[in-house]
A = this chain, B = another copy of it.
Amino acid sequence: MKVAVLGAGGYAGSELLRLLTDHPGVSALWAVRRGEEARSWPQLAAAPASCTLEEAKEADLIFMSGPHGAAQRSAGEFLDAGVSVIDLSADFRLPEEVYAQWYGPHAAPQLQGQAVYGFPELDRAGIAQARLVANPGCYVTAVTLALQPAARAGWIAGEVVVSAASGVSGAGRNRPELSMGELAENFRPYAVTGHRHLPEMERNLKACGYSGPLLFLPHLLPMARGILASISFQPSRQLEEQELFALYQEAYAGESFLRVQQELPETKATLGSNRCDLSLRSDPHSGRVLVFAALDNLVKGAAGQAIQNFNLMCGLPETSGLPRAGLWP
């Protein structure tokens, strides 16, 4: 497959380059350059081949990893040229009216209906047939994986509280307010009411049978990568810890990138890998159920998941080119 990456100057884009360089299913890899020369990333052994936006139409598939609003303006052209599209922004994740409410009017509403939501653990078959895939959000991936089995089992009664934290790479590049001086030795909440990832999370849970609201409290961590979601809810009945583990282990049996584990998960264990680690607790004191999920926001939360979708779309083994081990220490 010939593959292009649009938005290679951002973190998700450069992570795509890192992972696609050695991908066995990729015969040609181009970073799309726009006007000025592509940024040269220090971590890559060599600068990737580059092409213009027009030349990228020779590719079989294009990954779009720009900010929201970018893909909706160019996806149509690529699809018309016979190029499949995987978009990592919010552009095709939501129904038209929900998108408009959170982000404003959409430039290509006719494509919103065609897009397949690229969450492999929810819809492998749909992704395998898709030509336009909307890659999920990073926090959304962690929260959905953490709650899906309980939601499907009808075990969530309500009062779902999601406390989550992300490394700063989730906030993008070139932002002076993310300077090391002010973030090192610092921890803080942000956007604790009305975060834009909420509608995507709630849509996913609704699809699994739980339609109540979430409280979503994101925090910024003094580190580069990693997301941890610490979730609790009122169960529909008293649940033993072993029931919880049995439910999740069965739900995720056969998944290559999900690990349901007894130990509480930690972000560093997933660093650089496409894994999401999950654990569960039943708290007799408060009567609530606890679920924890950890992943690397740039891999399973962005570029890795996009490549997982790519693998499904191309009929390759789902694990092709995707590390399952993290860096430790």
Residues on A lying within 8 angstroms of B by beta carbon are: 11, 14, 17-18, 21-22, 41-45, 159, 161, 163, 165, 167-169, 173-176, 178-190, 192-194, 198, 213-215, 217, 219, 221-226, 228, 230, 232, 234, 259, 263-273, 275, 277, 281, 283-288, 290, 292, 294, 323-329
The answer to whether A267 touches B187 (Cβ under 8 A) is yes
Q: How far is the CA of A42 from the CA of B173 in the complex (A)?
A: 23
Given A215-B286, A267-B188, are A181 and B167 also a contact pair (CB < 8 Å)? yes
Copies in the complex: 4
> Closest residue to A275 on the B side, CB-wise?
B45
Chain B residues near A194 (CB-CB < 8 A): 285
Chain B residues near A283 (CB-CB < 8 A): 192-193, 215
Report the minimum CB–CB distance from A62 to chain B (whole Å).
21
Given A168-B180, A264-B189, A268-B182, are A228 and B219 also a contact pair (CB < 8 Å)? yes
Chain B residues near A169 (CB-CB < 8 A): 181, 329
A174, A179, A215 — which one has the most chain B CB atoms within 10 A of its CB? A179
Identify A179's interface contact among B18, B175, B265, B267, CB under 8 A.
Answer: B175
> Closest residue to A11 on the B side, CB-wise?
B329
